[in-house]
């Protein structure tokens, strides 16, 4: 299955949000997607965003790069932060300008089939921060979106590591509610068939647990870890049903065709499941806003009705044609048209726009 080029003009591009543990191969995978899409006639080259402010070198040419906007070293110095706090603050600062990023992406939406996002190395910075949620929600409400959860296959051969990685993936799936693809990366080093087997055959996973030792304590009872993993694997069984899994090698390019087939299937899933839910949530929000407005209006009208019982108020509230010309003296409200502002993609150093040199603000740190 593939996106036929004839219909791709009418289709919105799919946003692929690349997430994964540090060193799983996210950036290399983004590079591989980029080169794969460049090499295929059926797809147009993608639009690529790098959201990792701390990376020194990315193996692809990003269309939008957080490093062009935020100087991560400067953020660390100014706010007296460590590396992770620095990355988080840099991402937060960038998120304040994300509307401009969305505008740029939307402008290019007719020319690309895929918008690819690379995220910071420390997974929790993106998945458990407000800015990560804002970016994900903003992208997913304007384009079909899918999460590509990159897994370092050679590092997940131990059942306990495999399970903790899957639990993490599970938490992201339930948080974003977006279509989800498990990308078992580095299959050139370690094929991913063991993972597929563990995901489909509960007993095979149990057997792997048993052979990895530490399953029984000195009295022959199952260890706490073992019991926990047994019950968790039952929870995960449900989770596995909701996702697609592909094996790829970002180095050799193996499995990319299958990955993009999964992306196309996810596009349909997004339209079928996510979009109606998004529209329902939007409608519910509009409805509650409308109800709140109506409630205030009712209260205002009620207050006015009470005031009208007061003859003084009625006298003051009567329209006097002699005062009519005063109306022209009302201050004019100017709606500012900012469309003539400089090109929104220009470099804006947010770390410097924080404060004046002479302000001497010393932000207290928590704790
Ligand atoms: N053998 C092999 N190595 C890979 C593959 N993909 C990535 N790597 C290697 O894994 C290491 C980490 O890759 P990155 O792409 O930097 O991983 P990342 O997830 O972006 O890393 P951070 O952003 O620092 O968390 C690099 O040495 C890559 O060369 C693969 O498919 N096969
Ligand atoms: Mg990276």
HEC readout, 31-75:
HHHHHHHHHCCCCCCCEEEECCCCCCCCCCCCCEEHHHCCCHHHH
pLDDT of residue 7: 45
pLDDT of residue 183: 98
pLDDT by residue, tens only, the chain of 367 residues: 444 444 444 589 999 999 999 999 999 999 999 999 999 999 999 999 999 999 999 999 999 999 999 999 999 999 999 999 999 999 999 999 999 999 999 999 999 999 999 999 889 899 989 999 999 999 999 999 999 999 999 999 998 899 889 999 999 998 998 999 999 999 999 999 999 999 988 888 888 877 776 566 666 666 777 777 777 877 888 888 878 999 999 999 999 999 999 999 999 999 998 889 888 988 998 999 999 999 988 988 888 888 778 877 777 777 777 766 555 554 444 434 444 444 444 555 555 555 555 556 565 666 5
Q: Tell me whether residue 233 is in a domain.
A: yes
Closest Cα to atom 4, ligand 1: which residue?
A: 186
DSSP-derived pairing of the beta strands 114-118 and 64-65? unpaired
pLDDT of residue 328: 53
User: Measuring from each residue's beta carbon to the nearest atom of ligand 1, which residues come in under 6 Å?
Assistant: 20, 22-28, 52, 121, 185-186, 188-189, 249-251
Please answer whether residues 78 and 350 qualify as being in contact, where contact means their C-beta atoms are separated by less than 8 angstroms: no
- CATH number of residue 53's parent domain: 3.40.50.300
Count Cβ atoms below 10 Å from residue 104 Cβ, excluding itself: 17
CA geometry: angle 57, 19, 136, nearest 5 deg: 105
Q: Tell me whether residue 75 is in a domain.
A: yes
Token representation of residue 331? 């201050």
Residues 6 or more apart whose CB falls under 8 angstroms from that of 246 comprise: 181, 182, 183, 184, 255, 258, 259, 262
To test ligand 1's pocket by mutation, which of 20, 22, 28 has the most ligand atoms within 8 angstroms of CB? Answer: 28
Please answer whether residues 256 and 33 qualify as being in contact, where contact means their C-beta atoms are separated by less than 8 angstroms: yes
Please answer whether residues 172 and 147 qualify as being in contact, where contact means their C-beta atoms are separated by less than 8 angstroms: yes
* Number of domains observed in the structure of the chain: 1
- Kindly list the strands in the beta sheet with 64-65, ordered across the sheet, starting from the edge strand earlier in the chain: 64-65, 47-50, 114-118, 14-20, 145-152, 180-185, 244-247
Measured in angstroms, how far is the CA atom of residue 23 from the centroid of ligand 1?
5
* Domain housing 161: 14-270
To test ligand 1's pocket by mutation, which of 58, 247, 250, 256 has the most ligand atoms within 8 angstroms of CB? Answer: 250
pLDDT of residue 264: 95
pLDDT of residue 340: 46
To test ligand 1's pocket by mutation, which of 25, 49, 51, 191 has the most ligand atoms within 8 angstroms of CB? Answer: 25
Q: Tell me whether residue 69 is in a domain.
A: yes
Q: Tell me whether residue 351 is in a domain.
A: no
Measured in angstroms, how far is the CA atom of residue 134 from the centroid of ligand 1?
26
pLDDT of residue 6: 42
Measured in angstroms, how far is the CA atom of residue 20 from the centroid of ligand 1?
11
Count Cβ atoms below 10 Å from residue 359 Cβ, excluding itself: 8
Predicted model pTM = 0.78
Q: Tell me whether residue 133 is in a domain.
A: yes
Q: Tell me whether residue 172 is in a domain.
A: yes
What is the DSSP code (8-state) at residue 328? G
Q: Tell me whether residue 86 is in a domain.
A: yes
């Amino acid at each position: 299955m593939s996106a036929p080029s004839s219909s791709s003009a009418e289709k919105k591009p799919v946003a692929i949000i690349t997430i994964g543990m540090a060193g799983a191969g996210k950036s290399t995978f983004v590079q591989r997607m980029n080169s794969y899409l460049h090499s295929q006639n059926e797809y147009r080259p993608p639009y690529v965003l790098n959201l990792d402010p701390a990376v020194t070198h990315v193996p692809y040419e990003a269309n939008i790069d957080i490093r062009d906007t935020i100087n991560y070293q400067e953020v660390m110095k100014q706010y007296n932060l460590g590396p992770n706090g620095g990355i988080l603050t840099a991402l937060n600062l960038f998120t304040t300008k994300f509307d401009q990023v969305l505008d740029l992406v939307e402008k290019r939406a007719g020319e690309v089939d895929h918008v690819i996002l690379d995220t910071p190395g420390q997974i929790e910075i993106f998945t458990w921060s407000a800015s990560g949620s804002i970016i994900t929600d903003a992208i997913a409400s304007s384009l079909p979106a899918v999460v590509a959860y990159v897994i370092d296959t050679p590092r997940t051969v131990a059942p306990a590591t495999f399970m903790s990685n899957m639990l993490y993936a599970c938490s992201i799936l339930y948080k974003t509610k977006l279509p989800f693809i498990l990308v078992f990366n580095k299959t050139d080093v370690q094929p991913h068939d063991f993972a597929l087997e563990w995901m489909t055959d509960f007993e095979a996973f149990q057997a792997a647990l048993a052979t990895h030792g530490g399953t029984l304590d000195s009295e022959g009872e199952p260890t706490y870890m073992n019991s926990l993993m047994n019950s968790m694997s039952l929870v995960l069984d449900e989770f596995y049903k909701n996702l697609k899994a592909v094996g790829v090698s970002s180095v050799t390019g193996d499995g990319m065709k299958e990955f993009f087939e999964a992306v196309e299937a996810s596009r349909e899933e997004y339209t079928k499941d996510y979009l109606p839910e998004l529209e329902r949530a939007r409608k519910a929000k509009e409805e509650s806003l409308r109800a709140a407005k109506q409630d205030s209006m009712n209260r205002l009208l009620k207050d006015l009705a009470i005031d009208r019982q007061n003859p003084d108020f009625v006298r003051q509230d009567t329209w006097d044609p002699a005062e009519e010309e005063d109306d022209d003296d009302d201050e004019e409200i100017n709606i500012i048209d900012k469309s003539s502002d400089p090109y929104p993609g220009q470099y804006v150093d947010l770390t410097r726009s924080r404060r004046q040199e002479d302000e001497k603000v010393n932000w207290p740190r928590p704790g």
